[in-house]
Amino acid sequence: MDWVNAVVQGVMLGGLYALLACGLSLTFGVMRIINLAHGDIAILGAYLVWTVVDHTAMSPFLAALLALPVMLVLGYALQILLLERSLRAGPLVPLLTTFGLAIVIQNLLLQVFSPDVQSLGGNAGVITTASWQITDQLSIPGLGVLILAVAIVTLGVLQLFLSRTRLGREMRATAQDPDMAGLVGINARDVYARATAIAVATAGLAGLFLAIRSTFDPSSGPTQLIFAFEAVVIGGFGSLWGTLVGGIVLGVAQAIGEQINPQYSILAGHLVILVVLATGRGSLLVARGARA
């Protein structure tokens, strides 16, 4: 029964990883770049919510409603000010600039908020403690269900946005062929900036739930980037629903590893990735490329 419990916990943890991963997947799908500051941006979102909560004592969920528009604006600005220029400079430059950005964000957070570990778990109200007791050993935590539900809704909305709206179609067109899209009147610059804005906002949302579910500090970002990347690789690059599958596989692997020995938790997730890469499934997924 412990094992069933581990799998259930892992599935719900997968919801958080899918939330983290969908922004990474979207940026890769649209612009073919990997934002190495993605994890740090999620932590920035967590600190943004934490600051609002700290000053107003409002619920983190309400605070997130204030923080997410800010994240959208930050994402738009990030694209216009930094990524656009990097994209023009060649395929390697976005990696270097986003890695530099990651260092800047981490150390700014360190300078402003101190290295203390923070959590929003205590401020989120009854949801953090609520759970459904199924049997003696198996209980389903309310927060886990909420995160998984938010992840599914976010992915569903993103999918609908990409397939049904005008901007979504423009985004897919630009992803396939930016020059051709430009010829039919699509402003690639604007499309890219909106895609980054959405990616940064989803990272902020993931940061919110990370902060409620556990703890965070200025150096938490890189780990989150790695988890997001792993979810994307397992699920297939550029596939949105794939990130949910990837997130859940990663979450379950970590939960099962933890069940064996708490030290094996993260290692188990990494080993899944190495197996995916070794069996060639990874390269197949990577080669299949992006259909955002």
Q: Does 111 bind another protein (CB under 8 A)?
A: yes
The DSSP symbol for 262 reads G
For residue 112, the minimal CB distance to another protein (Å) is: 9
Q: Does 243 bind another protein (CB under 8 A)?
A: no
Q: Does 92 bind another protein (CB under 8 A)?
A: yes
Q: Does 97 bind another protein (CB under 8 A)?
A: yes
Mark out the alpha helices in 126-215 (DSSP H runs): 142-164, 166-176, 178-183, 188-213
Binding residues among 40-69 for another protein as defined by CB under 8 A: none
For residue 260, the minimal CB distance to another protein (Å) is: 12
* CA distances for 17 relative to 11, 147, 243, angstroms: 10, 10, 8
Q: Residue 236 in 3-state DSSP? A: coil
Q: Does 216 bind another protein (CB under 8 A)?
A: no
The burial of 20, by beta-carbon neighbours within 10 Å (0-12 exposed, 13-18 middle, 19 or more buried), is given as: buried
* CA distances for 220 relative to 37, 95, 189, 199, angstroms: 11, 19, 31, 19
Kindly tell me which of 141 and 269 has the beta carbon lying closer to another protein.
Answer: 269
Kindly tell me which of 191 and 228 has the beta carbon lying closer to another protein.
Answer: 228
CB–CB of 204/45 below 8 Å?
yes
Out of 108, 127, 145, 167, name the contact with another protein by CB under 8 A.
108
Which of 40, 18, 3 has the alpha carbon at shortest distance from 159? Answer: 18
Kindly tell me which of 82 and 173 has the beta carbon lying closer to another protein.
Answer: 82
DSSP-assigned states of every residue in 89-129 = T-SSHHHHHHHHHHHHHHHHHHHHH-S--B-SGGGSGGGGT
Out of 1, 96, 117, 149, name the contact with another protein by CB under 8 A.
96
Kindly tell me which of 126 and 287 has the beta carbon lying closer to another protein.
Answer: 287
Q: Does 89 bind another protein (CB under 8 A)?
A: yes
Distance between CA atoms of residues 77 and 71, nearest Å: 10
Q: Which residues bind another protein (CB under 8 A)?
A: 28, 32-34, 36, 82, 85-86, 89-97, 99-104, 106-108, 110-111, 222, 225-226, 229-230, 233, 237, 263, 266-267, 270-271, 273-274, 277-278, 280, 282-283, 286
